[in-house]
Amino acid sequence: MSTARRAAVLGSPIAHSLSPVLHRAAYEELGLTHWSYDRFEVDEAGLPAFFAGLGPEWAGLSLTMPLKRAVIPLLDAISDTAASVEAVNTVVFTEDGRRLGDNTDVPGMVAALREHGIEQVGSAAVLGAGATASSALAALARVCTGEVVVYVRSEARAAEMRQWGERLDVEVRTADWADAAEALRAPLVIATTPAGTTDALAGAVPERPATLFDVLYDPWPTALAARWSMAGGAVVSGLDLLVHQAVLQVEQMTGHAPAPLDAMRRAGEKALAGR
């Protein structure tokens, strides 16, 4: 009889996380009947105690906000990708008891772009300057050969994005959010802002837009993504990102590769349609 294995997603708030849907779909497709995947409401203050209570049945954890940086001191080692953006969204527990941290958001973004035929672009624009924007810059380090313009609301955020650019070896120029409509003419636009933030830009979509990567997935489509799609542009969604980063998590936690991308995406689409 197989030994039960456990995994889960942690964060606060966590009730709307799609991760259990995606991971459970993968386990079902892979025949991992002895695996379970749950969600736990955990904030930064509660994270050390949660880790202390984990037994040998635990295989891995997915981490969302606000834990991606807070978890780092609790780990034995983190990957170069996680170190490059100072964010861990994946923890794997090894057989010898080590806690290893990785970031699958960055390669997940790259994989989502490649699935839509984006292997390389000469320039790009990023809307927003939060934690997801730094992951976007790390992904663009692998995809974009030229300048990335980041549209921000404050000089403090602008300085932060320029620092990330230097750190990630990306040619970053910052611009004021008031000029964000100019971003929409770039060969690749990555929108990393909260729901509703880019709605006002929908009317500025050009006649022949290129590619929009909007990291949101609920509600979907955003006003910007809907208008972009109507104008004939290519749209990469937040669900694309979520599924691709989860695929990498499943492979790391279970040791089974490739993870069932299509089954996971169908499960995610079904769950979103039911909301």
Report yes or no: 260 and 29 within 8 Å, Cβ to Cβ: yes
Of 263, 211, 271, which Cα lies nearest the Cα of 235?
A: 211
Q: Is 68 a catalytic residue?
A: yes
Report yes or no: 7 and 255 within 8 Å, Cβ to Cβ: no
Helix and strand counts by DSSP (H, E) for the chain: 9, 12
- DSSP string of 29-41, one letter each residue: HHT-TTEEEEEEE
- DSSP string of 218-265, one letter each residue: SS-S-HHHHHHHHTT-EEE-HHHHHHHHHHHHHHHHH--SS--HHHHH
Rounded to a whole number of angstroms, the distance between the first and last alpha carbons of the chain is: 37
Of 98, 106, 110, which Cα lies nearest the Cα of 82?
A: 106
Which of the following is catalytic: 5, 68, 99, 227?
A: 68
Cα atoms in the 13 Å half-sphere on the side-chain side of 12: 10
- Provide the annotated active-site residues: 68
